[in-house]
Amino acid sequence: MIAVFKREFLSYFRSPVGYIAIALFSFLSGYIFVNNFATGAVNIASEVISLRSFFVVIVPIITMGLFAEDKKRGTEILYYTSPIDLFSVVAGKFLAAFCLYGIMFVNVFIHMIVTKSCDGIVDIGAWGSVIVFFFLAMLFISIGIFASAITDSQIIAAIFSFIMIMVIQLLSTISSLAGNAIAAFLSMLGVASESSNSVGEAITNGINWLDPFAKTSDFRYGSFSVAPLVFCISFAIVFLFLTFRVLEKKRWAKS
């Protein structure tokens, strides 16, 4: 696992990918921070929360090549023919992408120091958002890795993870749209409005249950709980396991 991690992590800096991702993140976080700074209302928590909307761009950039490139170059054969466990390959690549995120995030820590040195406040809510940020990063990176494992084209991997992350980010909108649509459909069929509304509501709630953003929203107010974090980790593990299965399946390929 460490070998794969080391290779993948260093390879971010052998190609422009790592630099582009870090530059992009620095620009975005710096832009948000400076904007807040100018108004005199620096809020690290809100900065971190705004940065979450860029997962959709940055995660596909850093994960698209992880497996797709190996397949295209034929180097994936090394994983299958070496006495190495396929899951440790997946874990190594995941860790590499996660650490790259850690390096990007140094920006935010610098902003915290600047805020502190200007007599600003870095409260528990800021730290709460930071924790949530990293758990969400885990979740989205695992989706990106899965996308990269199912295709040998980086572009398709990027598009696929972009769409998946987009859907998760819009989950609260999607859920209310779906709930309303179904309620409207049922009442059109002549179901009493009370019961059709409650079905719609149930569907909205059901989809909302999947929304990691809603689950972790209390962290920014300093109210921590374990369940949402477990949710994110489980989500990530499921996708990493699916990735592992995709790789394993290749061995038994029927075509």
Partner 1 sequence: MIEINNLVKHYGDKKAVNGISFTVEDDEVLGFLGPNGAGKSTTMNIITGYLSSTSGTVKVNGHDILEEPELAKKDIGYLPELPPLYLDMTVLEYLNYICDIKQVKRSERKEQLAKIIAMVKITDVADRLIGNLSKGYKQRVGIAQALVGNPSILILDEPTVGLDPNQIIEIRKLIRTLAKDHSVIISSHILSEIQEVCDRVVIINKGKVAAIDTITDLSKRLAGSSKLLLSFKGDAKKIMNEIRSLPGVSDCKIRISDKDIHEAEITVTGNSASDIRTSIFYVMSRNSSPIMEFRSLDPTLEEIFLSITAGT
| DSSP letter string, 43-78 | -HHHHHHHHGGGHHHHHHHHHTHHHHHHHHHTTHHH
Contact region with partner 1 (CB under 8 A), list: 20-28, 185-193, 199-207, 247-255: 247-255
CA distance 164 to 166: 5
Can you tell me which of 9, 33, 67, 79 binds partner 1, judged by CB under 8 A? Answer: 79
CB 6, min distance to partner 1, A: 7
Contact region with partner 1 (CB under 8 A), list: 2-10, 36-44, 97-105, 163-171: 2-10
CA distance 117 to 105: 19
CB distance 32 to 129 below 8 Å: no
Sign of CA dihedral 73, 158, 208, 125: positive
Q: Does 82 bind partner 1 (CB under 8 A)?
A: yes
Q: Is 243 helix (H, G, I), strand (E, B) or coil?
A: helix
Q: Does 80 bind partner 1 (CB under 8 A)?
A: yes
Q: Does 19 bind partner 1 (CB under 8 A)?
A: no
In the chain, beta strands by DSSP E: none
Q: Does 16 bind partner 1 (CB under 8 A)?
A: no
CB 251, min distance to partner 1, A: 5
Place of tokens 């990918």: 17
Can you tell me which of 7, 50, 110, 187 binds partner 1, judged by CB under 8 A? Answer: 7
Contact region with partner 1 (CB under 8 A), list: 10-18, 126-134, 178-186, 202-210: 10-18
